Amino acid sequence: MTIENIQNQLKVIVNPNTGKTLHEEGRIVEVKADQNELLFKYKRDGITPEQKRAIETLVVNIAAPTYSADKVTVLTISENSADVFAGKTFTKPETKAAPAAAAAQIKTGHGPVGQNKKHVAGAKKVIAVSSCKGGVGKSTVSVNLAFALKNLGLKVGLLDADIYGPSMPMLLNQRGAKPGATPEKKILPIDAYGIPFISFGLFINEKDPVIWRGPMLGGVLNQFLFDVAWEGLDYLIIDLPPGTGDMQLSMIQATDIDGAIVVSTPQEVAILDSKKGLNMFNQVKVPVLGMVENMSYFVPDDNTSKKYFIFGEGGVKKAAEELNVNLLAEIPLEIALREGSDQGKPYMNEKKYEGRPVWNAYMQLAKNINQCFNGEPQGESKGFFKRLFS
């Protein structure tokens, strides 16, 4: 890693008390780096000893590819913190002797759940769209669900939380857009066909790899949730990264999420992973609205009544029944859906497709989601949605 890359990463270290970066708060006093040593100097006021040690460890980790720990110096300036004794000039992470050999143990669990969760200002309801397996079309579902809800007359925002594979700038034809800021330094989301959205892809060159560590990514997502000027949204849809890792858990535990949707394709290998995602939401006490079967079948342009079950038939429906959750929709494949995604023209924003199988499936999905929060649907589905609130 180059010295310039290290310096850039140090700028986005987050103050755990505010969620803002040390750079934003003007706390970084000095960064010196040469071929042999790194010095990082910042204002420490209001940061506890435990938080200070965490920042020191983070600095060492960022520098690790280039500098060994004994070549990294972290200097703090503190005018009011009583725990910093006079005359101390710098601190380094403590080096402890290795403990005696013992049986390895793994501490499991998710920590305190439901405590100190923050509400996303400007959004009435927050919905997380998840999958444990990449390549099932989760981002495409998130985007077209947003436009389907918009077609119902609702105001919807999109948050692309897939830091390692942000695809919404392409799906929404906004690859070169750069967000601005309000006078209060809130991030202004980009408007795409009437839907405000934010994505990490708007802040980086799409050819550059994301090599940030967990705490840095967590700081970005925290900003996207709480430092973006979301306004008057009926729904904020969060497109989560695939999997059930620390980043997903941290976001879910810190955010007041009203419901989750789990997306899968029909084949068994995808369903097995999707069940893990669903169980994650159950463990952290987030209501699961139901499952969506994407790429359920293929519909040719010349015969919309014909169905080709390319990836198998009924897999997600069976899984939903086993897990006692709702099957919210079975969304088919059409060539126009793929073409629209590649061209940045969301299918559900194109009225010319109204009445086609994909259009009908997404509109039914939007209606089912909206009815989860605003009353039970009529007809055969009524019993399924009743489970959500029993």
Q: What is the DSSP string of 289-320?
A: EEEEEEEEEE--TT-TT--B-TT-SSHHHHHH
Query: Which of the given ranges, 83-87, 274-278, 378-382, has the highest pLDDT on average?
Result: 274-278
Q: What is the DSSP string of 323-385?
A: HT--EEEEEEE-HHHHHHHHHT--GGG-GGGTTSHHHHHHHHHHHHHHHHHH-PPSSTTHHHH
Q: Which of 206, 195, 250, 251 is nearest to 224 (CA)?
A: 251
Which position has the higher pLDDT, 43 or 214? 43
Which position has the higher pLDDT, 272 or 84? 272
The pLDDT tens digits for 197-251 are 998 888 776 666 555 555 555 667 778 888 899 999 999 999 987 765 566 666 7
Average pLDDT over residues 282-297: 88
| Strands 38-43 and 72-77, sheet pairing | parallel
**What pLDDT is stored for residue 136 in this prediction?**
84
- 383 burial (CB, 10 Å; 0-12 / 13-18 / 19+) is exposed
Strand partners, 288: 260
Domains and CATH numbers, the chain: 3-77 (3.30.300.130), 123-389 (3.40.50.300)
Q: Which two tokens stand for residue 377?
A: 């649907």
**What pLDDT is stored for residue 365 in this prediction?**
97
**CB distance 192 to 365 below 8 Å:** no
The pLDDT tens digits for 77-102 are 876 544 333 333 334 444 444 444 44
Residue 138: C-alpha distances to residues 186, 280, 291 (Å):
28, 17, 12
Q: What is the mean pLDDT of the chain?
A: 79
Which position has the higher pLDDT, 276 or 38? 38
pTM over cut 0.75: no
Q: How far apart are CA 387 and CA 277, in angstroms?
A: 19
The pLDDT tens digits for 103-131 are 333 333 444 444 567 899 999 999 999 88
Q: Which two tokens stand for residue 161?
A: 């939380």
